[in-house]
A and B are shown apart, each in its own frame.
Chain A
Amino acid sequence: MSGPLSASEAGLGFRIGLFADRRFKYLVIAPAVFILLFIGLFPLIYSLIVSFQNITMMEEDTSFSGLMQYRLLFQDLRLWQSLGHTLLITAIALPIELLLGLLMALLFVDRLPGRSVFVSLLVLPTMIAPIVAGATWRLLFDNRYGPINQVLGWFAGEPMTVLWVIKANLVYPAILLAEIWQWTPFMFLILLAALSNVDKNLTEAAEIDGASTWRIFWRIVMPAIWPVMAIALLIRGLDLFRLFDVVWALTKGGPGTMTETISIYTYIQGFRQFETSYTAAIAFLVIVMLSVVVIFALRRMEIAR
């Protein structure tokens, strides 16, 4: 066999020697990467190409149409409204989920017999299918046979038939309620773990020093759990771009287009209107935008880790 390797061939000197391992490590990673390119790279390129064409329900015009689709995109009021709807839901739901989750976590963090049972039960809303969650709330909100109106009636003193999923000023509360219900346990679970990991020595030292509970919480506990909170917010924040199932089950984007999320709108454009090229343009923009945000956020987190 030929002699030893030069420094550059040896690379960064990983802990386990290379040798025929070089073949091994590529062989082992190849199938997964190959499949990932299928959903990662291919849609990106394909969307890009198609978005420069002009394929619609009517005609299969694959000639190069430049930035036409993108110009339409920027002028499409309904698209921007759907984005606004998505952001609105995110902006209201996230803080409430965070706050409620934090309060619940604080309740459970000290010793509590049977806590694991509670946690297992409380995590169920997050684990069931979002479409099922949406369907469930649809049933709950029913104006005549749903228990929510019934309970409201108890408080109001007379029967209430609130049209939760139909009336314009009520659909958002309905959607928000369902969303918050499903995802608060997610926040709760993560914050509970984070709170449990806070170093007791720090809080005890502060107690001895005479700090009030409030102060201990703000100055010691919050900074300690902030990294975890940030990750949870990032995950949930990005997930809200996927908002489809729950809204679809409750209102199908209605009434009219009032509760269309960006996912719903894209779906309609692609699979109801068959605006192929236009949908491709939207898809391409979304992929690029989110990739940039995610990669940026991940790099910052990896560096901090």
Chain B
Amino acid sequence: MARLKITGLHKYYGKFHAVRGIDLDIPEGEFTVLVGPSGCGKSTLLRTIAGLEEADEGTIEIDGEVVNDMRPRDRDVAMVFQNYALYPYMTVYENIAFGLRARKTPKERIGPLVEQAAAMLDISALLGRYPRELSGGQRQRVAIGRAVVRDARLFLFDEPLSNLDAQLRDEMRSEIKRLHQELGKTMIYVTHDQIEAMTLADRIVLLRDGRIEQQGAPIDLFERPATRFVAGFLGSPAMNFVPAEIVGDGGDLALDFGDGRRLALPEQRRAAYAARAGTRITLGVRPEHMERDRGGSPRPGLDRLRVTIDLVQPTGSRTYGTFKLGETEMVAELQVHDVEKPGEKLDLLFDMNRVVLIDPASDKVI
């Protein structure tokens, strides 16, 4: 188990500034997910921690030890690659034992260690096979087994599930979570998939253009995003963003969408936004923040709008309806029979307690 501390890390590829000043402090045993769009620097950051890339500026400390100048083999980290990196000319057993052999572990100890790792990952039956005989999921287990067997202090995962189909991905995700619970090691996991991030992480570090956009527990980032980028990145389907103006209505505050429709802000939020009356903002509404009005008195904080559904997309367990608010197309998550055909009109309730307001100039959540 290890504590990882990164201070002021910068990395350049020629002129390209891939990592722009990252500070990270990860306590022992935590599962940290580095997530972000392509090119955000998450893989570079991971590889720099592993020692496969050199940092240009800043320090990397593992358990208080500065490892910048250490070779990968001396850092006591284990890594699982996206393409599994299994040696095709070795059996599963030999693949897993590889690291132990390279470090001159005594022969008698290699066998039991390999078998233990294989049992943990449910691949004991495959030890004598070659990688080409295995399925994608099995190969991934072997790759993880190779990391597990070394009992390293830090585990690094570089998009390990990207090459698997959706069903396998779900399965392996649970495996990795279970593994973390069993081993309790400090793990750093890179992915571009926000579902993996949400389900696996103790802490999410959302990266963008080489910088940390926000970090924290998954639910924190989801419910209290700091910027528009974070708000739009997490959640599927993505959050809707629609421009609006804050208008003061004699003690009440509402959002005006330009087409004559308005949504009122709930009482407890008015104080925070009163100063911004008359300014334009961007409203962020998640599809699940809207529901069909079934009659009865609405709960406090909810406001109603009449909308025309243009597009209906049923998924079986729920239905997504697209409508227009102002000039913007929005997607609402509805129950299966709320709407049947395009063109229907609906009364939609918006949960104004949970929507976010964003300053269009800075893209920060206010």
Which A residues are closer than 8 A to B by beta carbons?
Answer: 1-7, 10, 12-13, 15-20
Contacts and interface: CB of A to CB of B under 8 A. Distances in A.
A103 to B, nearest CB: 40
B56 A10 contact: yes
A12 B14 contact: yes
Contacts of A19: 51, 54, 69-71
Nearest to B12: A7
Interface residues of B, number: 19
Contact of B51 (A3, A5, A10, A17): A17
Contact of A10 (B12, B52, B69, B71): B12
Contacts of B11: 13
A13 B14 contact: yes
Q: Name, among B53, B58, B66, B70, the residue most crowded by chain A CB atoms within 10 Å (CB to CB).
A: B53
A13 B71 contact: no
A17 B56 contact: no
Contacts of A16: 52
Interface of B: 11-14, 51-59, 66, 68-72
Contacts of B12: 7, 10, 13
A2 B69 CA distance: 8
B66 to A, nearest CB: 8
B244 to A, nearest CB: 45
Given A4-B56, A12-B14, A13-B14, 6 more contacts: A4-B69, A10-B12, A13-B12, A17-B51, A19-B51, A19-B71
Contacts of A18: 54
B57 A4 contact: yes
A6 B57 CA distance: 6
Contacts, number: 49
Given A3-B68, A7-B12, A17 B59 contact: no
Contacts of B51: 17, 19
Contacts of B53: 13, 15, 17
B43 to A, nearest CB: 11
A16 B73 CA distance: 13
A19 B14 CA distance: 18
B14 A4 contact: no
A22 B71 CA distance: 12
A222 to B, nearest CB: 37
A13 B10 CA distance: 12
A124 to B, nearest CB: 32
A259 B59 CA distance: 71
Nearest to A2: B69
Contacts of A20: 71
Contacts of A10: 12, 54, 56
B72 A17 contact: yes
B241 to A, nearest CB: 36
16 contacts: A1-B69, A2-B69, A4-B54, A4-B57, A4-B59, A6-B57, A7-B12, A7-B57, A10-B54, A13-B12, A13-B13, A13-B14, A13-B54, A15-B53, A19-B54, A19-B70
Given A7-B56, A17-B52, A12 B13 contact: yes
Contacts of A5: 54-56
A25 to B, nearest CB: 14
A279 to B, nearest CB: 47
A19 B55 CA distance: 11
A24 to B, nearest CB: 11
A1 B11 CA distance: 20
Q: Name, among B55, B56, B59, B72, the residue most crowded by chain A CB atoms within 10 Å (CB to CB).
A: B56
Nearest to A16: B52
A20 B70 CA distance: 9
Given A10-B54, A15-B52, A3 B14 contact: no
B235 to A, nearest CB: 34
A18 B55 CA distance: 11
A6 B71 contact: no
Nearest to A21: B71
A18 B56 CA distance: 12
Contacts of A7: 12, 56-57
Contacts of B58: 4
A13 B52 CA distance: 10
A4 B57 CA distance: 6
The 6 closest A-B pairs by CB, nearest first: A13-B13, A1-B69, A7-B56, A4-B68, A7-B12, A17-B54
B55 to A, nearest CB: 5
Contacts of B70: 19
Contacts of A13: 11-14, 53-54
A12 B54 CA distance: 11
Contacts of A1: 66, 68-69
A300 B12 CA distance: 29
Contacts of B72: 17
Nearest to B59: A4
Contacts of B56: 4-7, 10
A19 B57 CA distance: 15
Contacts of A17: 51-54, 71-72
Nearest to B18: A13
Contacts of B55: 4-5
Contacts of A15: 52-53
Nearest to A19: B71
B59 A3 contact: yes
A122 to B, nearest CB: 33
Nearest to B74: A19
Contacts of B71: 17, 19-20
A227 B56 CA distance: 41
